[in-house]
Amino acid sequence: MSIRKRQSISDMIDEYFEDMEKWADQVRETLSEKPCWDLKTCAIEPLREVTVTPTEVIVTVDLPYAKEETVQIKVVDEFSVEIFAEMRKKIRLNELGVTHREGVIQRFHGWIRIPVRVDMGKMKIQHKKGILEIKLPRKR
């Protein structure tokens, strides 16, 4: 017969606050403001939307000026994908209204977190008129 040691109330409270701190760090990380471009790689982060339905997750990514043949989707892990695409036209930062920096954007690069479990092997991809749509069926 195994004897289970009971936690004291103070240990349970400490554990609760540690979990809350981890959650707050994750929220802070997602809400922190950062530039949407990287001048070292000449890449800009595309606009995206993640929609969760009862049967699937639909990721919509805006890729204006992207060369269709260069769009790549890489599965990072079971909860995230990475998107790469080359642009047909180079865009200078001053064309975007950025006057305090100089640089050229030549590609798209974005990392997207999927909030629920999905089957990455059954991913369906459609790219039409600069809009990339990724459909991922949810795991049961």
Q: Domains plus CATH for the chain?
A: 38-137 (2.60.40.790)
Residue 129 and residue 108: Cα distance in Å, rounded?
16
Residues 74-129 pLDDT 10s: 998 888 999 999 999 998 888 878 788 888 889 999 989 999 999 999 999 999 98
Given a contact cutoff of 8 angstroms between Cβ atoms, the answer to whether 122 and 134 are in contact is no
- Is the pTM above the cut of 0.95? no
The pLDDT value given to residue 33: 62
How does DSSP assign the chain, residue by residue?
---PPPPPHHHHHHHHHHHHHHHHHHHHHHH----SEETTTTEEPPPEEEEE-SSEEEEEEE-TTB-GGG-EEEEEETTEEEEEEEEEEEEEGGGGT--S---EEEEEEEEEE-SS-B-GGG-EEEEETTEEEEEEEBP-
